[in-house]
Structure formats: C-alpha cells, structure tokens
Amino acid sequence: MSESAAPKRRMFGSGTTIEDLKVYMAPFVDRLGYKFNTETEFVDEVLESELEILEATGDIFCPCRVRSGDPKEDAKIVCPCIPFFRDQFAGISKCWCGLFILRDVEDGADLLGVIEEVHGAVEAPVFLAEDVPPGQIRRVKIGKRDVAVANVDGEFFALSNVCRHAFGPLGEGFMDGPVVMCPWHGWRYDVRDGTTDHPNADVKTYETVVRDGEVFVIVEMK
C-alpha cells in the first residue's frame, strides 16, 4: 500500500488552533529543557504551517524536514522532535526551525536562521531532577547514544544503557545503592564509573551537570 493510499491517523481533531498546539506542546518541551521562541510572531507563523501539514497528513511533521514515507523514520520528525535530536539541538540552543529554544535563552531572535555544525562538548538537557527521584534510573536517547541516567542519593550519573552481556536495557533495571542490576539477567554495574565484576564488560560513562533543577548529560560532538 502506498503512503498516499494508507489510512491517516489524525493526531488532532478538526478545528485545532494555534493556541491548542501551544497548550499541548508547552508542558512537554518544558520537561525537555525547552520553551517556545520569544519571537511570538515567528512562533505563530510556524504553528500555522503545522496546522496546514496536519490537514494534509493527519500529523504535525516538522516543517523543516522532508518526510521519507517510512512511518518509523518519519516519527522522528513529528513536532516537537527534540527527543530524537537532543545533542544537535542542545549544541545550537534550539530546534531546527527555532520554534523551540533552550529554556535559558533570553532572546530567540538571535537564533533564527542559524544552523551550525556542532563540535566539542555539548550539555544536553534530559529531564528535570524532580522527575527521577533518588533510587531511580531512566533511559534517554541523546542523538544516537542510548544512555541510562540514575539518581543516587540526589546525585546523577549517566552510563551506556546497553548491558555488555546480552544487550539488556540498564535504564529499565533495578537500583541497589550506586549499582544498577540489568533487568534481563541481573548483571550489576556501578553507575558512578560503569564498572562491573564481569571481565572486559565495563560500560562507558558520561559526565552530568545539574543546574536550576535540570539534569544535563555532557556528550562529545565530532
């Protein structure tokens, strides 16, 4: 069945407005460390184009990107697409079009039209500290990196999400102090340094920063 012949699952009902999209998106992007651009006229223009895309496709695909026709791939460009491009967007302080900017950016006008190739260390916001209480761990995607972020007595640590035994998801594991137990077979990793008792099976760790109640994972962009 071709894309044009496939049934469209409409994300929002008919009559959806710009204000409806703002109410829907704002709490979600806030949890990701972003906010709407301070240039309100620009925001309305982009959201108006999103409504046109919604009418044509049934979903609010990013107006900056071309759909591939593959539903799984195109899911990565449904607005807000921040979770799929955390590293790139953190590096340029905004999403591609600039509809969303990092929460600490004061003037979004300076970022409009700016698309830069990012190199070096990037602080990627992943969640609010309050969202992951002590003794909990969460899986996040940062670009192509699959990362688990744990809260150990109020201190956050990040390590590769993939267990070296059978590729189990450590971010879905069980915390025991500073140790995460893989949910598949119980392999144990110290989240502070990625070490395990099993030979040649340590995992990569990432530096974290907590600022104004928000957790950032520092990744290297090449």
Q: Find, among 79, 75, 71, the residue nearest to 50 by Cα.
A: 79
pLDDT of 8 reads 56
Domain boundaries of the chain, sorted by first residue: 18-117, 124-221
pLDDT digits (tens), the chain, 222 positions: 444 455 556 778 888 999 999 999 999 999 999 999 999 999 999 999 999 999 998 899 999 889 998 989 999 999 999 999 999 999 999 999 999 999 999 999 988 877 778 889 999 999 999 999 999 999 999 999 999 999 999 999 999 999 999 999 999 999 999 999 999 999 999 999 999 999 999 999 999 999 999 999 999 998
Q: Looking at domain 124-221, which CATH architecture does it have?
A: 3-layer Sandwich (2.102)
The phi-psi region of residue 142 (left if phi > 0; otherwise alpha if psi is between -120 and 50; otherwise beta) is: beta
Instruction: Identify whether the C-beta of residue 178 lies closer than 8 Å to the C-beta of residue 192.
Output: yes
Q: Exposure pattern of 28-59 as b/e (b: 16+ CB <10 Å)?
A: ebeebbbbbbebeebbeebbeebbebbeebeb
Q: What's the pLDDT tens digit per position in 60-108?
A: 999 988 999 898 999 999 999 999 999 999 999 999 999 999 999 999 9
**Structure-block tokens of residue 200:** 């040649």
Instruction: Identify whether the C-beta of residue 95 lies closer than 8 Å to the C-beta of residue 113.
Output: no
Cα radius of gyration rounded to whole Å, the chain: 19
Instruction: Identify whether the C-beta of residue 171 lies closer than 8 Å to the C-beta of residue 181.
Output: no
Same fold for the pair 18-117 and 124-221:
no
**Structure-block tokens of residue 19:** 């204000």
Domain 18-117 fold is Ferredoxin Thioredoxin Reductase (3.90.460)
pLDDT of 113 reads 77
Separation of alpha carbons 221 and 217, rounded Å: 12
